[in-house]
Copies of this chain bind each other. A is one copy, B any other.
């Protein structure tokens, strides 16, 4: 579970996708416009992000909108807190 998350985060293209989604929800096509990369490659990256539950997709007509799933980011924070300091925020 956390393995899927860190594997997903280990690729710079996928982290940049997350950065884009921080601003606003985007379709697969809009996301791909930000990269010098084929649409299928971006689609695969989105699949990995979705598998890690870092993003959620929603189909609207012929478009698929992607958005962040913030709960997993909380999991990452909790994971890192165990190393940084013994509890406390």
Interface residues of A in 35-89 (CB under 8 A from B): 68, 70, 73-74, 76-77, 80-85, 89
Known: A6-B10, A89-B89. A77 touches B70 (CB 8 A): no
Copies in the complex: 2
From B3, B15, B22, contact of A6 by CB (8 A): B15
Q: State A74–B70 Cα separation when bound (angstroms).
A: 18
Q: Does A18 contact B (CB under 8 A)?
A: yes
Listed by A's residue number, 18 A-B pairs whose Cβ atoms lie within 8 Å are A2-B15, A3-B12, A6-B6, A6-B15, A7-B10, A9-B9, A9-B10, A22-B82, A68-B83, A70-B84, A73-B84, A74-B80, A74-B84, A76-B80, A77-B77, A77-B81, A77-B84, A89-B89
